[in-house]
Amino acid sequence: MYTNQLLAEPKKSTYDVIIIGGAMLGSSVAWFLAKNADFDGSILVIEKDPSYEFTSTSHTNSCMRQQFSAEINIKISQFGANFVKNFQEYMGGDERVPQIPFHQYGYMYLADNPIFAQTLKEAQIIQEKCGAGTKHMSVDQIENDYPFYMLDDIIAANHNLIDEGYFDGNTIFDWWKRSAKENGVEYVNNEVVSIEKNSTGNYVETITLKSGEKINAGQVVNATGPRASLTARMLGIQLPVEPRKRYTFIFDAEKPLDRDLPLTIDPSGVHMRSEGQYYLAGCPPDVDPAVEYDDFTQDHNIWQEKVWPILANRIPQFESIKLLNSWAGHYAFNTLDQNAIVGPHSYVKNFLFVNGFSGHGFQQSPAMGRGIAEMITYGEYRTLDLSPFGFARIENNEPFIEKAVI
pLDDT tens track, the chain, 406 positions: 445 667 788 999 999 999 999 999 999 999 999 999 999 999 999 999 988 887 877 677 789 999 999 999 999 999 999 999 999 999 999 999 999 999 999 999 999 999 999 999 999 999 999 999 999 999 999 999 999 999 999 999 999 999 999 999 999 999 999 999 999 999 999 999 999 999 999 999 999 999 999 999 999 999 999 999 999 999 999 999 999 999 999 999 999 999 999 999 999 999 999 999 999 999 999 999 999 999 999 999 999 999 999 999 999 999 999 999 999 999 999 999 999 999 999 999 999 999 999 999 899 999 999 999 999 999 999 999 999 999 999 999 999 999 988 7
Residues 253, 308 contacting (CB under 8 angstroms): no
Length of the chain as a residue count: 406
Strand partners, 221: 19, 352
Half-sphere exposure of 80 (CA within 13 A, CB side): 33
CA separation for the pair 312, 117 (Å, rounded): 23
Three-state SS for 202? coil
Name the DSSP letter for residue 358. T
Q: How many CB atoms lie within 10 A of CB 235?
A: 19
Question: Which helix H or strand E contains 82, and what residues bound it?
Answer: helix 71-85
Q: What is the pTM of this model?
A: 0.95
The domains of the chain are located at: 14-60+169-240+336-395, 104-162+243-331
Class of domain 14-60+169-240+336-395: alpha beta
Residues 351, 222 contacting (CB under 8 angstroms): yes
Strands 165-167, 186-189: pairing kind: unpaired
Positive or negative CA dihedral for 246, 251, 253, 259?
Answer: positive
Q: How many CB atoms lie within 10 A of CB 8?
A: 11
Three-state SS for 117? helix
Do 14-60+169-240+336-395 and 104-162+243-331 come out as alike in CATH topology? no
Three-state SS for 11? coil
Q: Which residues contact 121 (CB under 8 A, 6 or more apart)?
A: 136, 156
CA separation for the pair 257, 318 (Å, rounded): 9
Class of domain 104-162+243-331: alpha beta
Half-sphere exposure of 318 (CA within 13 A, CB side): 24
